[in-house]
Amino acid sequence: MSAVVHAHPQSGPVLGVAGPAKNKRVLSEAGDRGRWWRFTAILLITAIVLVPIMVTVVLAFTPGPNSTATGLTFENLASVFSGTLAATWLQNSLITTLSTVLVSVAVAAPAGYVLSRGRSKAVSGYSLLLFVMQSLPIITSVVPLFILFAAMGLVDNLLGITIIYVGSTMTVATWMMAAYFDSIPISLEEASWIDGCSVFGSFTKVVLRNSLPGILSTAIFAFLLAWNDYLVAIVFLRSNEIFTLPMGVQSFFQQNATDWTSVMALAVVMMLPPIIVFATLNKYFSVGGIGGSLAGR
Amino acid sequence: MTTTTAQSGLSRARKGIAPSGTGSGNRKSKLSAQTTRTFFWLLLPSVVLLVLIHGYPLIYAAVQATHDGDLLQTGDFVAGDNFAKVLSSPAFWKAAQFTLMFTIVGVFGSWLVGLGLALLLRTKIPAGGTFKVLLLLPWVVPIVVSSTAWNWLVATPDSLIPSLFRNLGLGTPLFLADPNLAAITVMVFKVWVSFPFMMMMISAALASVDSTVYEAASMDGATRWQQFSQITLPLIARSTYISWILMTIFCVNDFPTIYLLTGGGPVNATTSLVVLAYRTVFQDFATGPGVAIAFLMTMTLVVISVLLYRQIRKSSVE
């Protein structure tokens, strides 16, 4: 029962005023013990949880069965890039993902602004519509879109899957942008209107310029969704040189299931970009996107 | 820089509005007509995409679900035949049952793990921030990558984990070959992928709780369990509720977690509704029944999500 008290060491002084000094020391010793116990528990759990990821990394740099190298090696990575279309897949993934991020933010930001500032029935209806659409299984739209895109020559085409990614990220992205715009006081805009600025002008000059964190977290969300997608890719991509990395990794895995070191080298290539994005933009990373925006609104 | 301009504008506005109240009313109505027009243009790209990527396919899916035919051409109108076929097939009900189990375990399993870790990480521990970041990795790493790693760990009798079991004298479990075990493995994999989401949602909610509440409670003699059930749980209730809703949607719609680990097998033991719909359309080329399955899911989810949206909105007003 007292553990909760010393669980917040920074609040110690507040309590200390009331209690005798000796009592406080006893509390903080017990707190230290509790803290190390927690530390050990977290360390163990983290180690177990990360086993699959560590296995991937270790195998990727372990010499393959036919290798003469000892210790850690970059052979697998090199052989994957020379022996497969890994470079093309990486490029395809980068192109589709970055286009998705750009277009998705460009569409979601203005729509999110309307959702945030609009007070009409139509706007709240649209907000509900977006929520419903994001909860629907993508497989339902995939089949009709496949037929439509086949007629338009967009099957086995990077533009085709990019359009679908933009469509499927857009709903949540709009919500995320709206949630962020909610936090920007409207008084800032009112001031600019009085200065003769139009609504569009205040949106771009006042709201957007102050929304970098919101834009970045939306961009991260779109990035992860497009980079990690498998369902759309498996339906729409057919030929090896149009594959994105998920398809590339998967097809390579199916053909060389026993060549684990090469498979894992390719897997490392695929997981590196999201980890880099996540590591550098960690503070803008709002998990699940819509979760944060729903909780915030 | 922008902030300063805006702020100076703001102070000017404060000065300006006070003396001349009449002018601002006129300006307001002009603004609102202009606003509606601007809002329309700002919303337009989003609406166009929504209609193209979500609206049109949904209507087309309704057409396909009520027609014969394949991917290349829509056949005759068969009304509810596809739905009848689907609803009377044991495979559909088996998949529905698995989807239900998968969703229940996925939602509450990941919630419990996420809650436990969020509570552990809540207090100051050495390198706490690093652990928080590391523990998010299962959610960040692409499923294609993590499923490959899990395959390496459990797929064959000679994989790492089965060997470990063997060496401990626990036999050699066939994690992906035994139907029951495969179902459990897929669910554990889903929990592994999803708990960071829950952890982050709960951590965010916990961070906003004022710690003095607990001090007051413990001074009043509340036990830790009382503090948890009477203070912590109510305070994270809204986040929890939202995260359950979202995780339910994620689990029901999940494809790669299942498909990449087991492909829906062995003997369809891990075939969820989405996997069944995918296989029906793209492997059995039975477009009508496949889309009918997806459509049944869609209708269920529309109803559920409209109800839940109302609930969320209501709870946010309170």
What is the pLDDT at residue A294? 62
**pLDDT tens digits, one per residue of B32-72:** 777 888 888 888 899 998 988 888 888 888 888 888 766 66
φ/ψ of B93, rounded to 5, equals -70, -35
Residue A9 has pLDDT above 90, yes or no: no
Provide the CB-side half-sphere exposure for A97 (13 A, CA): 25
Instruction: Estimate to the nearest angstrom the gap between the alpha carbon of B186 and the chain centroid.
Output: 17
Q: Is the reported ipTM for this assembly greater than 0.85?
A: no
The answer to whether the CB atoms of B47 and A126 lie below 8 A apart is yes
Question: What is the rounded distance in angstroms from the CA atom of residue A277 to the CA atom of residue A281?
Answer: 6
Neighbours of B37 (CB within 10 A): 12
Instruction: Say which residue the tokens 């060496």 belong to.
Output: B167
- Is there a contact between A56 and A263 (Cβ–Cβ < 8 Å)? no
User: Between these two residues, A1 and B293, which has the higher pLDDT value?
Assistant: B293
Structure tokens belonging to residue B172: 């050699």
* B145 within 8 A of A267, measured Cβ to Cβ: yes
B153 token code pair: 């760990």
pLDDT at B199 over 50: yes
Judged by CB atoms closer than 8 Å, whether chains meet at B143 and A230 is answered as yes
Beta carbons of A76 and A262 less than 8 angstroms apart:
yes
Quickly list DSSP for B154-178: HSSTTSHHHHHHHHTTS----TTTS
**Does A196 have pLDDT greater than 60?**
yes
Domain B81-317 has CATH 1.10.3720.10: yes
The predicted model gives A239-266 an average pLDDT of: 87
Could A35 and B58 be called an inter-chain contact, meaning their C-beta atoms sit closer than 8 Å?
no
Higher pLDDT, B75 or A149: A149
Q: How wide is the angle at C-alpha B50 spanned by C-alphas B45 and B52, nearest 5°?
A: 95
Highest mean pLDDT: which of A234-238, B38-42, B281-285? A234-238
Q: DSSP letters of A107-159?
A: HHHHHHHHHHH--SHHHHHHHHHHHHHHTS-HHHHHHHHHHHHHHHT-TT-HH
- Element (H or E) spanning A98, and its range? helix A86-117
Tokens encoding A170: 């857009």
Contact predicate B117/B131, CB 8 Å: no
What's the pLDDT tens digit per position in A55-88?
999 998 988 777 777 778 888 888 888 888 889 9
Q: What are phi and psi of B188, to 5 degrees?
A: -60, -40
pTM listed for this prediction: 0.83
* Residue B236: closest C-alpha in chain A: A295
Please state at what angle helix A212-228 crosses helix A86-117, rounded to 10 degrees: 140
Q: Which residue on chain B is closest to A130 by alpha carbon? A: B50
Helix, strand and coil percent figures for chain A, each rounded to 5 = 80, 0, 20
pLDDT value of position B36: 82
pLDDT attached to residue B187: 96
Of A14-18, A218-222, B149-153, the range with the lowest mean pLDDT is A14-18
Does residue B29 have a pLDDT over 60? no
Instruction: Kindly tell me the burial class for residue B61, based on how many C-beta atoms sit within 10 Å of its own C-beta (0-12, 13-18, 19 or more).
Output: buried
Chain A CB contacts of B262 under 8 Å are: none
**Residue type present at position B4:** T
Q: Retrieve residue A179's tokens.
A: 């949630």
Chain A nearest CA to B180, separation (Å): 22
Q: Is the pLDDT of residue A193 over 90?
A: no
Of the candidates B64, B144, B274, the beta carbon closest to that of A143 is on B64
Q: Cβ of B38 and A107 within 8 Å?
A: no
Q: How confident is the model at residue B264 (pLDDT cuts 50, 70, 90)?
A: confident
Q: Can you tell me the mean pLDDT for A219-236?
A: 91
Residue ranges per structural domain of chain B = 81-317
- Of B45, B14, B141, B91, the closest CA to residue B267 belongs to B91
